[in-house]
Amino acid sequence: MLPVLREVPDGKGRKHVFWHGGEEYRTRGQWDDGSGPWRAEHVSTDGRHMGVLNDQPNAEVVQSAVASMVTAVRIISGDRPVHYIADAGNRLGDELRLDVPTADEQGRIREKSEEDVMRRLTGVTEGVRRLRTGDEHRETIAFLKVYPVFTDGCIGQPQFAHL
């Protein structure tokens, strides 16, 4: 559940801003025209930029890699997730709302461990997809994403479970 990259002009091509764990990150192409391999910078509260990742093929890969890195660093440093949330997707990657009794209003499962999340979903094979017309229709779940949630509310990089 990473935020969408927000494009901002900087006079040197495309640059994107996103936040993860309450921290600001920027991605940009390494060439002046905004193309070429992409890199990520962490922006501190005093405005300093520190490069954290280089040589990625596009901005979306950079964002995912930063989220994975931040999640790993938090876990390695001893910050353990307080619970996990899961959401589902169809084979095309569209989000599906889980309509089981233990799901929240967004159709996600929230439990204390990854194992508990998966146990809650035993036997669940379909979810509900809302169409642009407002109609809803049931579709087969192709994969689940299980996200760690930390004490400060930061949502980490998901683990994928294919069904």
Over 60: is that where the pLDDT of 51 sits? yes
Identify the domain boundary among 57, 76, 95: 76
Residues 25 and 70 occupy one common structural domain: yes
Identify the domain boundary among 59, 76, 93: 76
DSSP per-residue letters across 6-63: EEEE-SSSEEEEEEETTEEEEEEESSTTS-SSEEEEEE-TTS-EEEEEEEESSHHHHH
pLDDT at 13: 44
Strand partners, 15: 8, 28
Over 50: is that where the pLDDT of 8 sits? no
**Per-residue model confidence as pLDDT tens digits over 85-132:** 888 899 988 889 988 888 888 888 889 988 888 888 888 889 999 888
Once rounded to an integer, what is the mean pLDDT over residues 18-25? 73
Residues 87 and 158 occupy one common structural domain: yes
Over 80: is that where the pLDDT of 84 sits? yes
Number of domains in the chain: 2
Containing structural domain, residue 104: 83-162
Residues 153 and 100 occupy one common structural domain: yes
Q: Which of 13-22, 92-101, 135-144 bottoms out in mean pLDDT, i.e. has the lowest?
A: 13-22
Separation between Cα atoms, residue 66 and residue 72, nearest integer Å: 10
**Per-residue model confidence as pLDDT tens digits over 25-35:** 777 777 766 66
Average pLDDT, the chain: 79
Q: pTM score, two decimals?
A: 0.65
Residues 91 and 158 occupy one common structural domain: yes
